[in-house]
Amino acid sequence: MNVAQEFDPLYRSAQALNLGHDQDGAALVTITQTRGSTFRRAGASMLVRRDGRLVCELSGGCPQRDIALRAQQAIDSGQPALVAYGRNANYDVMLETGCGGELEVLIEPLREQSDLQFFDAIAHLRSRRSPGAMATVYAVDGDVLAPKPQRLVQGDGVAWSDIETDALRQQLAAELSSTEAGAPNAMTRRMQVEGRHYDVLVESLRPPHALVIVGDSVSARMLAELSAQLGWQTTLVDPAQAVTETTNGIRHVAASPQSLATQLVLDHLTSAVVMTHRLERDMGYLEALLDTPVGYLGVIGSRQRAAQIQAAFPHTYPRLHMPAGLDVGSETPQEIALAVAAEILATRNGRSGGPLSHSQTPIHP
């Protein structure tokens, strides 16, 4: 679950399960290790329903079909499984994808409501927009841990665990304390505790990315819709909005420049785009947002307007993206939304936004 925007659909689907009834079983599939070029990284998860429905698909290719079949078998048997895809096992399946890498997946049946408690702990952290970390103990002495994996979730005063071995839990708690602020990538580690060897997937838990859009035009609405589809927490600020409401995953609020900071969370994991198409109003909201730590701050408009805004705020050039968006020749509101969202994503991931064919860095950020 190292991709923050995938947690909400997984969590909603897990909450909707009527566990404890044979007809509504499910399994959670998590990639624990990868080597070489693979379709997803360690930490990525997919929910497989008994009826075959998938939530947060991993790839759509041959490995996914095989994984889904094995997950349904695990649902029926109630036993977790650890499946490797690579040169020593199931290599034919990987060859069909053309990716050339190797991976290992953990398949854990979800049978009781208590199996979802770690989801609740993660959701609690996210509701507070607090970073954290999770350790999943999934194998001991080379065998998958049965009847299910054991976990520790912690961060910013939140701590939940069902790990039964005290020494292991204490060692992992110390390990996670340094992981919370570390690199976002998940990694499997082998730990020796009291003479036993445990395989543990350690991953950081990041708060969801949030996007605040200031504007009432069709372009602002298109960007809000795309943001919601990307799984970003989306707020559309419209000065003419009568009441605060949420529709289709988009929160609509009326907020003046002076009330922005009190009505919205504007932290370093938040991006903001000002697009009222009225210069004086744009500058009012921009001045308020410059006093916040938002990680991306963009303004829609022509280069002439960008020059006027730059003249009004001469010392803010490194922070401002004006005109906002990647240069893809966008013209329609939908294309403008795509260009702006792409620049936000590239900025968050520390990428240039250029063609992948011209890049020598790994594809996955």
Top-confidence range, 23-27, 43-47, 276-280: 43-47
Q: Report pLDDT for 93.
A: 59
Q: Report pLDDT for 92.
A: 59
Average pLDDT estimate for 312-340: 91
Q: Which residue has the tokens 């005109």?
A: 323
Q: What is the pTM of this model?
A: 0.85
Average pLDDT estimate for 50-71: 86
Q: Write out the two tokens for 333.
A: 């509101």
Q: Which residues pair with 135 in a beta bridge?
A: 152, 202
Q: Which residue has the tokens 């805004």?
A: 309
- The residue type at 277: H
- Higher per-residue confidence, 16 vs 179: 16
Could you give the dihedral angle defined by the CA atoms of residues 321, 275, 343 and 337, in that order, rounded to the nearest 10 degrees? -160
Residues of the chain with CATH 3.40.50.720: 210-348
Q: Report pLDDT for 283.
A: 93
- Classified by CATH at the fold level, domain 210-348 comes out as Rossmann fold (3.40.50)
Q: Which residues pair with 105 in a beta bridge?
A: 31, 83
Contacts within 8 Å (CB) and 24+ apart, 175-183: 175/135, 175/202, 176/132, 176/133, 176/134, 176/135, 176/152, 176/202, 179/133, 179/203, 179/204, 180/131, 180/132, 180/133, 180/154, 180/155, 180/204, 180/205, 181/131
Q: Percent of the chain scored above 70 by pLDDT?
A: 91
Q: Report pLDDT for 188.
A: 94
